[in-house]
Structure 1
Amino acid sequence: MTPQGFLTITDLSAGYGTTRVLDRLDLAIVKGEFVALLGSSGCGKTTLLRAIAGFVKPSAGSISVNGTDVTRQPPDKRGMALVFQSYALWPHMTVAQNIGYGLKLRGRSKAEIARRVGELEDLLGLAGLGQRKPGALSGGQRQRVALGRALAIDPQILLLDEPLSNLDARIRLKVRHDISALQKRLGITAVHVTHDREEAMVMADRIVILDRGRIAQQGTPQALYNRPASPFVAAFMGAENRIDLTGRIIGDRVEIAAGPNNAPADLPRDGRPLADGPLEARFRAEAAAIVAGESDGNPARDALDLPGRIEAASYPGGAWRHSVRVGDEVLLVDSPTPFALGAAVRIRIPAEALFLFVRQSNPADPEGSLSDGTTGRVLEASET
């Protein structure tokens, strides 16, 4: 687990009415770390952020900052600043007035406010815009004003509630790098809520994936991308293609039996917690290849072949994306060149790009979320 943190959440539960959203969650964030809370709608990430900020009252557990319990403290006493998804700028105030608003509430002098606002305008690329009102700014500029207002009070912790979701795609790519670079430059502790996997990977030191109010897995972007601990995490990290297999463990190898939708294969176990019997395989579209023709029936070593037929092809840029019919499944696979519709092909997935898991027998939990499928224990990326 993560060592004792600057921001520590212990055994936290919270919800709305009788609905529990956070379920006995533990999380420690070290000083200066940028942590992204990643998950789909309803997973609890925004509730967790609002509980940290003081806008949601936990039903159990505690939140501490630098060793001080802040669980029952009001939001303005926690040393935190929250940047909202909507920016929440005052439309009748100028850029300078918006940035300095928190300082004015704290009774700072006009000279001190002007100095601090000027520093932040320079830092955030807003120099010369101080007298404009939000309506005269671009989306990216409004986002930077909201960030400046949050930073003006020198918070110990910066909380970001999907602040980039209202920006168009081109601007979002730049602003995400700007925020990450600024956070590193200031050394501030940041917690960022997002549903965008790429955004989390670009910006965060550590990603915490939530599912139904608990942590499914946490670790560095590289660790979660390359070593997902469950089918749920694998799918969330882009490995949405799924196929059922049957395997047998022989030493440090996994012998995949020929099935209705796959050729036999001999794969490395690679330290994965597998067992004889039904397996679930997941892989990314860009990690596989399309090979013309049908399988010769011989086991492939260090790769898995799936026979299928091309159903559709499109060009989203960089490669052709194909829909390939494999039994009852339609899998997405990229290729540098297009294949003809109806062509018989093989999807070839190299062993290092194939994520294997023991197939869950509970149809109500097809993704095997929350755990390793056996104990319910939350997994660190380093454990898998």
Structure 2
Amino acid sequence: MDSQDHLFYVHYIKAPWVGAMDLRHTGGPASNTPSPDPTTGPTTGPTADPATGPLDAQVPGLELESVHAGYRGVTTIGPIQATLSTGVHALLGRNGAGKTTLMRVMAGILRPLSGTVRVCGTDISHDPRAKDRVAYLGHRAAVSAELTVRHNLEFWAGLYCPQPAVREQRLAELRDTFDLSDLWERRAGRLSRGQLQRVDLARTLLPDPAVLLLDEPLTGLDPVTSALVRTLVRDLALTRTVLYSTHNLPEALTVASQILVLKDGTLRTHNDLIQESDAGYEIRYRGRWPTELVAGEALGDQLVRVTVQTGSTIGALVAALVERGVSVLDIRHATADTDASIRSLLEDQ
């Protein structure tokens, strides 16, 4: 690094807005909090290895236990009770519902007023090393407008990846993944909104986190880059916990393995919504549909939507159909009902 680079980095660290950027670096060398004795492990919660890398499938990526959060002692969300394991979890909620506040609590940026947040089995309030396993993409890109894309990512890589070989490898991988080669020597202040988002996504993935928190990550992205990010999120979620907030319900239903709705300060899950709905199912079958047994809405040839009556189960209905000579080829929850129940919950706020 030449002397001009040193001046850039000094200016970067001393800049008046560095506090906001430090919030997004939730652990690592910037932390002044001493680490506990590794032989004793966390004070509470199950024992877990806080080292970086893919998530152990046996340990939930995120656990929130009776969490209340807010500002200046005033509770705005809670109680929150949730366990998020590997996979994509979409967070929905109206504007002002508290989605960003919840994500900041999960990342260890905002201390909860009460309750416990565990990352990979470790209480983040007792072991700061657990924060190193979380990466958070906020609404404001954590990059300096005065630095080039290369200088910005090299700065963060120096914090996240102290080993030079690992640092250079991660930079090269992310430069290719987000197609940043043509932007590499361009100042961040001259980038478009979508280009800046690509740079910030690359910055977020530098530490190879086990838990990835994305606050509306597709904002400002063109269709091609949006599709790339969706594919990347699915791939990352094979061994990691990914939570992203969005206002796009169809996209959430397509990409996520679990839907979370934040309403009135509490989290509702996709399964909760299905259980509270009319339990609609789509059944593909062969044979004559016994209308005397159950009425159904014909959706096409040999495809019908039915509602299971209170006190019964879909298993009992299938058994009754088989008794009458109907071959059940496929059965699934009615997507339209799920979609409608989530929309209804959001609109009711």
Which range, TM-score by smaller chain?
0.5 to 0.7
Report the Cα offset of residue 148 of structure 1.
Answer: 0.5
Q: What fraction of aligned residue pairs are identical, expressed as a percent?
A: 31
Which residue type is aligned with residue 244 of structure 2? H
The answer (yes or no) to whether the contact 1:102–1:153 under 8 Å persists in 2 is no
Structure 1 counterpart of 2:267: 215
What SS class does the counterpart of residue 42 from structure 1 fall into?
Answer: coil
The answer (yes or no) to whether the contact 1:100–1:149 under 8 Å persists in 2 is no
Deviates more, 1:203-212 or 1:72-81: 72-81
Structure 2 counterpart of 1:270: 308
How big is each residue's C-alpha offset from its partner over 1:297-340, in whole Å with a ceiling of 9 and x where there is no partner? xxxxxxxxxxxxxxxxxxxxxxxxxxxxxxxxxxxxxxxxxxxx
Structure 1 gap ranges (5+) = 232-250, 255-266, 274-350, 358-364, 370-384
How big is each residue's C-alpha offset from its partner over 1:276-316, in whole Å with a ceiling of 9 and x where there is no partner? xxxxxxxxxxxxxxxxxxxxxxxxxxxxxxxxxxxxxxxxx
Report the Cα offset of residue 120 of structure 1.
Answer: 0.8
The answer (yes or no) to whether the contact 2:134–2:210 under 8 Å persists in 1 is yes
* More helix, by proportion: 2
- Distance change (3 Å), C-alpha of 1:202 and 1:100: farther
- Distance change (3 Å), C-alpha of 1:191 and 1:4: same
Q: Which of 80, 83, 101 is matched with 1:47 structurally?
A: 101
Structure 2 counterpart of 1:15: 70
Distance between the aligned counterparts of 2:69 and 2:308, measured in 1?
38
Which residue type is aligned with residue 216 of structure 1? R
Q: Which of 161, 168, 182 is matched with 1:114 structurally?
A: 168
Which residue type is aligned with residue 67 of structure 2? L
- Distance change (3 Å), C-alpha of 1:217 and 1:71: same
Structure 2 counterpart of 1:25: 80
- Distance change (3 Å), C-alpha of 1:353 and 1:20: same
- Distance change (3 Å), C-alpha of 1:40 and 1:110: same
Corresponding position: 1:182 with 2:236: no
Report the Cα offset of residue 214 of structure 1.
Answer: 0.7
Q: Which of 78, 94, 103 is matched with 2:157 structurally?
A: 103
Structure 2 counterpart of 1:192: 244
Which residue type is aligned with residue 193 of structure 1? S
Report the Cα offset of residue 116 of structure 1.
Answer: 2.1
Report the Cα offset of residue 228 of structure 1.
Answer: 7.6
What SS class does the counterpart of residue 229 from structure 2 fall into?
Answer: helix
Report the Cα offset of residue 10 of structure 1.
Answer: 1.3
Distance between the aligned counterparts of 1:195 and 1:114, measured in 2?
36
Which residue type is aligned with residue 183 of structure 2? L
Report the Cα offset of residue 149 of structure 1.
Answer: 0.6
* More strand, by proportion: 1
Report the Cα offset of residue 35 of structure 1.
Answer: 0.8
The answer (yes or no) to whether the contact 1:7–1:64 under 8 Å persists in 2 is yes
TM-score by length of 2: 0.59
The answer (yes or no) to whether the contact 2:212–2:240 under 8 Å persists in 1 is yes
What SS class does the counterpart of residue 181 from structure 2 fall into?
Answer: coil
Which residue type is aligned with residue 114 of structure 1? E
Report the Cα offset of residue 110 of structure 1.
Answer: 5.3
Which residue type is aligned with residue 89 of structure 2? V
- Distance change (3 Å), C-alpha of 1:5 and 1:99: same
What SS class does the counterpart of residue 250 from structure 2 fall into?
Answer: helix
- Distance change (3 Å), C-alpha of 1:352 and 1:209: closer
Distance between the aligned counterparts of 1:199 and 1:352, measured in 2?
13
Structure 2 gap ranges (5+) = 1-57, 279-292, 297-304, 312-333
- Distance change (3 Å), C-alpha of 1:190 and 1:107: closer
Q: Which of 187, 192, 198 is matched with 1:138 structurally?
A: 192
Structure 1 counterpart of 2:181: 127
Distance between the aligned counterparts of 2:169 and 2:267, measured in 1?
42
Higher RCO (CA < 8 A, seq sep 6+): 2
Corresponding position: 1:36 with 2:60: no
Corresponding position: 1:6 with 2:61: yes
Q: Which of 267, 276, 282 is matched with 1:229 structurally?
A: 276
TM-score by length of 1: 0.54
Report the Cα offset of residue 268 of structure 1.
Answer: 6.5
